[in-house]
Amino acid sequence: MSIDLEPRSATAKSEVSAGHLDDEVDRDELRSRYQTLLQELRVLLPGAQVLVAFMLTAPFSQRFTALDEAGRAVFGAALLSGIFAIVAFAAPTAFHRFGPRRARARRLQWGIAVSRIGLICLAVSLVCAAFVVARLIFGSVVAYGFGAAVLVAIVAVWIVVPVSFRSED
């Protein structure tokens, strides 16, 4: 096995997955990608934290007692998935601070993976929270429509549109 010690061009690097970059040769590219990932998470994390903060206070409101057992179960799913989203969004920072300094490519791969898991958890939390609030205010039939609308919007904007960009390359 030979190691290519020649630096890759910037164009070629941008098309290579993190797992194929070398921790030493591609150090700057890996640092740049990791910093970009952390910047993205600085946008996502506060939103997830605010959502969970509101959900943590909801059981103390007078209207919360109006939720039946099914509503509380969906609320529990929203709360738990929101907390998991926060954990996942904070994980790349922990990888950066506590992970081996020279395992740049592996930290980036794991950072991307847990960020995707965080997005899934955030999506579940948003759908469930929208469902619970709509059910409490408008009833079950409308709540299913709310939940479905939020789910369709998330799938369209977070998955379909970005995947369509790939087909243009």
Question: How confident is the model over 123-142, as a mean pLDDT?
Answer: 95
Q: How far apart are the first and last CA of the chain?
A: 31
Helices 104-138, 69-98: crossing angle, 10 deg rounding: 160
Lowest mean pLDDT among 3-7, 67-71, 135-139, 154-158: 3-7
Distance, in Å, from the CA atom of 117 to the CA atom of 108, rounded to the nearest integer, reads 14
pLDDT in tens, 99-129: 777 777 888 889 889 999 999 999 999 999 9
Domain residue ranges in the chain: 21-168
Distance, in Å, from the CA atom of 153 to the CA atom of 117, rounded to the nearest integer, reads 18
Distance, in Å, from the CA atom of 31 to the CA atom of 23, rounded to the nearest integer, reads 10
Question: How confident is the model over 35-59, as a mean pLDDT?
Answer: 90
Residue 25: φ, ψ to 5°: -65, -40
Question: Token match 């509101």: residue?
Answer: 54
Q: For the whole model, what pTM was predicted?
A: 0.81
Distance, in Å, from the CA atom of 126 to the CA atom of 81, rounded to the nearest integer, reads 9
Q: What is the four-CA torsion angle of 68, 70, 71, 76, rounded to 10 degrees? A: 120
Higher pLDDT: 11 or 143? It is: 143
Please spell the DSSP secondary structure of 59-89, one letter per residue: GGSGGGGG--HHHHHHHHHHHHHHHHHHHHH
